[in-house]
Amino acid sequence: MAAITQEKIDYIVKLLSDINYGSVLITLHDGQITQVDHTEKNRFIKAKAPASK
């Protein structure tokens, strides 16, 4: 198993702590982290129209 640098760990932990909804994808090549992708989901709740009288 290859060593993972503290810089990479800190980067991944920061991504995880900043995302409320989404995903973090870590890509490995020969046991080394080569890429980190993150996707954050933002949802907006549609306001209901007031009921007509």
Do the domain assignments include residue 45?
no
Query: Is the model's pLDDT at 41 over the cut of 80?
Result: yes
- Which pLDDT belongs to residue 50? 78
Which residue in the block uniquely carries the two structure tokens 């702590």?
17
Phi and psi at 36, nearest 5°, equal: -130, 120
- Which pLDDT belongs to residue 6? 95
- Which pLDDT belongs to residue 16? 95
Closest CA to 16 of 6, 29, 28, 26: 26
Do the domain assignments include residue 36?
yes
- Which pLDDT belongs to residue 2? 75
Do the domain assignments include residue 34?
yes
Q: Indicate the number of domains in the chain.
A: 1
Give the pTM. 0.70
Q: What is the pLDDT of residues 7-37, one digit of tens each?
A: 999 999 999 999 989 999 999 999 899 999 9
